[in-house]
Amino acid sequence: MISKIKRNVKLPIYNDIEHHPNKRLKSRQSPVWDVDIIVNDLQIEWKKIWLESEVRNSSLVEDPTVKVPGFNLPRALWTTLNRIITNQGKCNYLLHKWGMVESPICSCGQKQTIKHIVEECLLMKFSGGTEEIHTVSEEGIEWMKNLVVWL
Confirm whether 60 is domain-assigned.
Answer: no
Mean pLDDT confidence for 7-36: 71
User: How far is 130 from 140, CA to CA, in rounded Å?
Assistant: 9
Q: What residue numbers bound the domain in which 108 lies? A: 75-147
- Same domain, yes or no: 135 and 82: yes
Look at residue 149 and tell me whether its pLDDT is greater than 60.
no
Q: What is the mean pLDDT of residues 5-34?
A: 72
Number of domains in the chain: 2
Is residue 26 within 8 Å of 33, Cβ to Cβ? no
Residues 138 and 80 in one domain: yes
Q: What is the pLDDT of residue 29?
A: 61
User: Is 82 within a domain?
Assistant: yes
Would you give the DSSP letter of residue 132? H
- Answer yes or no: are the C-beta atoms of 131 and 124 closer than 8 Å: no
Same domain membership, residue 86 and residue 49: no
- Answer whether residue 110 is part of any domain: yes
In a domain, 14, yes or no: yes
Same domain, yes or no, for 80 and 123? yes
**Is residue 38 located within the same domain as residue 100?**
no
- pLDDT at residue number 44: 85
139 beta partners: none
Chain segment 75-122, per-residue pLDDT in tens: 989 998 988 888 888 889 999 999 999 999 998 999 999 999 999 998
Residues 119-133 have a mean pLDDT of 89
Residue 68 lies in a domain: no
pTM over 0.85? The answer is no
Euclidean distance between CA atoms 43 and 109, whole angstroms: 45
Report if residue 126 sits inside a domain: yes
Residues 128-148 have a mean pLDDT of 87
**Given this model, what pLDDT does residue 148 score?**
56
Whether residue 8 is contained in a domain is answered as yes
Question: Which of the residue ranges 3-17, 21-35, 60-74 would you say has the lowest mean pLDDT?
Answer: 21-35
